Structure 1
Amino acid sequence: MPNDILASAISVIQRFKKTITDDPFNIKRTWVGKDICKDKTKYKGFICYKNRVVGVNFNGYNFKGNPLSVKDFIDGIKTLVIVHLNSNNFTGEIPTEISSQKIPKLFELDLSNNKFGGSFPKAVLGATNLTYLDLRFNFLTGPVDPRVFKLDLDVLFLNDNYFSGKIPETIGRTAALFLTLANNQFTGEIPKSIGQAKENLLEVLLLNNQFSGCLPYEIGMLRLATVFDASMNKLTGPIPQSFGCLRDMELLNLSYNQLYGEVPETLCKLSHLEKLTLKYNYFTQVGPECRKLIEENVLDVSMNCIIDLDNQRNPDECEAFFLKKFQCPDMKSLTYVPCNVHEFSPRKINSVGRHQPDAKARSTTYAAINKPHL
């Protein structure tokens, strides 16, 4: 006979089972009997440890309901540690009961690729023991709550929703290693406070939003970062010289913006750089180090305004752009270099004269912007 805690979990599961109207993989037919933690053929999608239900893994099950809700389901199983509900049809709001008081050991919450709507789910802020939070590919709208960047997370995926407004300055407080805000409707400047996360933030995706203004030199303080992508925005101004301090950078993508000026030579000297994508901007100069990267197919400066290179913008288009007045509010900061670039190792290439495979192929954050195929 199951103990009281296990019996309670089974009762919650049986109630939830009745709300599922479409089960294409016949998962719920295994949810029978009381041997949830003894018979591995029973209760598929549930994980046990020491006679407790500690995990829910419904990834790719494509459950449907009328409606299908997490309320009174995951918050009803107090022993949960991991909840992965990726690629189903859950709707409604995330219950406030998802908190450290109600589910004290919950440290992974994946609600991605569902149909959750409404404003930013403040309920997740109460789950203070979370290290993994994935809300991508839903229909969430409005501003992001500043407190989410104060959670002690390793992974924060908010991409592919309809979040809008400015990114809170608390982004500099994030403990995350991997941060993805891509494919939303964020506006305003990239917060300068992002440089305060320099000791932990490894991969950052801000692409395909409405960010504007100049690149803050503080991005160059993310010295341990390996991936930074702010492409497909409305950024302008030169690339700050501080970007030469991104010593571990492997992939940097600033394409499809309105950046101009000279590509910093110190940036092109970075020893780990595998791909530098600056196409569809208005850069006018590249020095000898950057030209080496062009020859190695590491640097892409196509469709800019560099007069002695092929595949550039039409001169009339460049002239029209430079007739407009663009001015960064703090031009002096763009020349500030917060490191000793001479301490960095020289660039290395492999035996066939090419750099290692594109960092994008193995990036945790780039994988997060690919919608799962069911």
Structure 2
Amino acid sequence: MAFKVIQSFKLKIEGDPTGIKETWNGPNVCNYTGFTCGTVPVFNQKTVAGANFNNRNLSGTHLTINEILVGLEDIVFFHANSNNFKGTIPVEASKLKYFFELDLSNNQLSGPFPNQVLAAKKLLFLDLRFNKFEGFVPPQIFTLDLDLLFINNNNLVPQKIPDTLGKTPALYLVLANNKFIGGIPKSIGSAKDTLLEVLFLNNQLTGCLPYEIGYLKKTTVFDVGSNRLMGPIPHSFQCLEKMEQLNLAHNRFSGVVPEAVCCLPHLSNFTLSYNYFTQVGKKCRELIKEGKLHVKMNCILDLPDQRSPAECAKFFSVPHKCPDEKSLTYVPCSKGIYGNELESSDMQLTTLTPELAPAHSPLGRSYGALAPH
């Protein structure tokens, strides 16, 4: 069965710059480059369990994933980053019994957002970035039991991020470079037990940051750069004890940068450039000297490379108020005390020994999704 499916697929490939299909000869498909075989649990027999066409740049006038994906009935993973597949995801993919990973990033897929993936209940890994999908993202996408969801860089219509965001069990979530509008849903705090990295950058988000972001006790990367967000940094951000990379640059944030946020123990890159902040304290200034805090083009009078007084005056001549300003002083990790910023000693932080320190890389895993390859 797999032999016939692969040979039929081979005929549709017109461009094959790496010559992968030249290895697809003979009856033993387990020896074909790009295919992985495994044992079917129920029948204890070998079958094609995976396809990896990453960076092969395959092309063809009628090259789709339909026949190859659906035809390999026991497939576990299908990785096809950086090719020229057209069409969309077949509805029949939801019927695959062992299907856990689908990577179709950086292809020519188009049409409405593929709602058919909602029926693929066993998927753990869904990467649809850098395609031409249009329309709305269904709220149910955030209820799938995924570890990873990348849908950045598509042609989605302007829409609010669904409130179901907080139901996502995803560890890595990238919604960047689309046209999401409105605010970040307060429900995001409900993802506190799973969410490690989340990228909202380069959308059209507005409003103030909800204090519920402070519940994200496991999150190491949080990026809302290049949006239209405003208001102060919620005091709840001092509860983000695992945070390593925090990017709020290129927005309309203002006010005082909370000292307690600058005391977060793992913070290695805190970017506030191109906003309207007016004041930074002692600890934050230490981070500036260490190159961990970036405040270029704000309204901090005694620091270099700031906006002009006229530009700052113009911004502050118009009120910039948040709907629920009291909530922005709420610190959930201080047992509900309003207006009290925790000092670093109050957070019961210890000096990390090398074996306890988290592995750190210059860029989180999610940032890799911002490049097509």
1:134 aligns to what?
127
Q: CA deviation at 1:10?
A: 1.1
CA contact (8 A) 2:82 2:372 kept: no
> Corresponding residue for 1:345?
349
Is 1:44 the equivalent of 2:33? Answer: yes
Three-state SS of the structure 2 residue aligned to 1:243 is helix
Specify the code of the residue in structure 2 equivalent to 1:124: V
In the other structure, the counterpart of 1:365 is 366
Change (3 A) 1:314 1:349: farther
Query: Would the alpha carbon gap of residues 305 and 346 (structure 1) be closer, same or farther in structure 2, given more than 3 Å must change?
Result: farther
| 1:270-309 to 2 correspondences below 5 Å | 270-309=264-303
Question: Could you tell me which residue of structure 2 aligns to residue 227 of structure 1?
Answer: 221
For residues 158-200 of structure 1, give each alpha carbon's deviation from its aligned partner in whole angstroms, at most 9, with x where no partner exists: 1111223111110100000000111111111111111110000
Aligned length: 354
CA distance 1:191–1:212, change in 2 (3 Å): same
Structural mapping, 1:62-211, within 5 Å = 62-99=57-94, 102-163=95-156, 164-211=158-205
8 Å CA contact 1:182–1:209 kept in 2: the answer is yes
Q: Is the 1:227–1:251 Cα contact (8 Å) retained in structure 2?
A: yes
Distance 1:371 1:94 in 2: 19
Cα distance in 1 for partners of 2:18, 2:212 equals 49
**2:49 maps to which residue?**
54
- Structure 1 residue 347 displacement after superposition: 7.2
> Counterpart of 1:11 in 2: which secondary structure?
helix
- Alignment correspondent of 1:5: none
In the alignment, the residues of structure 1 paired with residue 81 and residue 293 of structure 2 have an alpha-carbon distance, to the nearest angstrom, of 36
Aligned equivalents of 1:53, 1:274: Cα separation in 2 = 44
SS in structure 2 at match of 1:78: coil
- Identity across the alignment (%): 53
Instruction: Give TM-score scaled by structure 2 length.
Output: 0.92
**Secondary structure of the equivalent of 1:65?**
coil
Cα drift, residue 349 of structure 1:
11
Please report the RMSD computed on the Cα atoms of aligned residues, expressed in angstroms: 1.8
Q: CA deviation at 1:348?
A: 7.4
Q: Which residue of 2 aligns with 1:321?
A: 315
Aligned residue number for residue 25 of structure 2: 32
Higher alpha-carbon deviation: 51-60 or 291-300:
291-300
Q: Which moved more, 1:240-249 or 1:47-56?
A: 47-56
In the alignment, which residue of structure 1 is the partner of 2:43? none
Tell which deviates more after alignment, 243-252 or 120-129.
120-129
2:328 is paired with a residue whose SS is helix
Letter in 1 for 2:67: D
Q: Which consecutive aligned stretches of 4+ in structure 1 deviate over 4 angstroms post-superposition?
A: 346-350, 356-360
- More moved, 78-87 vs 291-300: 291-300
Residue 343 of structure 1 deviates from its aligned partner by: 2.5
Q: Within 2, Cα distance between the matches of 1:259 and 1:120?
A: 32
1:72 positional shift = 2.1
Q: Select 2:3's aligned residue among 10, 25, 29.
A: 10
Q: 1:264 aligns with which of 258, 269, 272?
A: 258
Query: What SS does structure 2 have at the residue aligned with 1:114?
Result: coil
Shift of 1:371: 2.1
The answer to whether the Cα contact below 8 Å between 1:271 and 1:348 also exists between their aligned partners in 2 is no
The answer for the alignment partner of 1:4 in structure 2 is: none
Query: In the aligned structure 2, how far is the partner of 1:347 from the partner of 1:255?
Result: 29
Q: Distance in 2 between matches of 1:328 and 1:53?
A: 55
- In the alignment, the residues of structure 2 paired with residue 282 and residue 178 of structure 1 have an alpha-carbon distance, to the nearest angstrom, of 30
Given that 1:177 and 1:202 are in contact with CA atoms closer than 8 Å, whether structure 2 keeps it comes out as yes
What is the CA deviation profile of residues 308-349 of structure 1, one whole-angstrom value per residue up to 9, with x for unaligned ones?
111100000000001112110000000000003412416779
Q: TM-score normalised to the size of structure 1?
A: 0.91
**Against the structure 1 CA distance between its residues 140 and 79, is the aligned structure 2 distance closer, same or farther, given a 3 Å change threshold?**
same
Q: Which amino acid aligns with 1:49?
A: G
Consecutive unaligned residues of structure 1, counting only runs of 5 or more, are 1-7, 351-355
| Matches of 1:148 and 1:305, distance apart in 2 | 40
Q: CA deviation at 1:16?
A: 1.0
Distance in 2 between the 1:56 and 1:346 partners? 46
Unaligned residue ranges in structure 2 (runs of 5+): 40-45, 335-341
Equivalents in 1 of 2:238, 2:155: separation in Å?
Answer: 33
**Mapped partners of 2:86, 2:77: distance in 1:** 20
- Contact 1:251–1:358, Cα closer than 8 Å, also in 2: no
Give the letter for the 1:27 counterpart: I
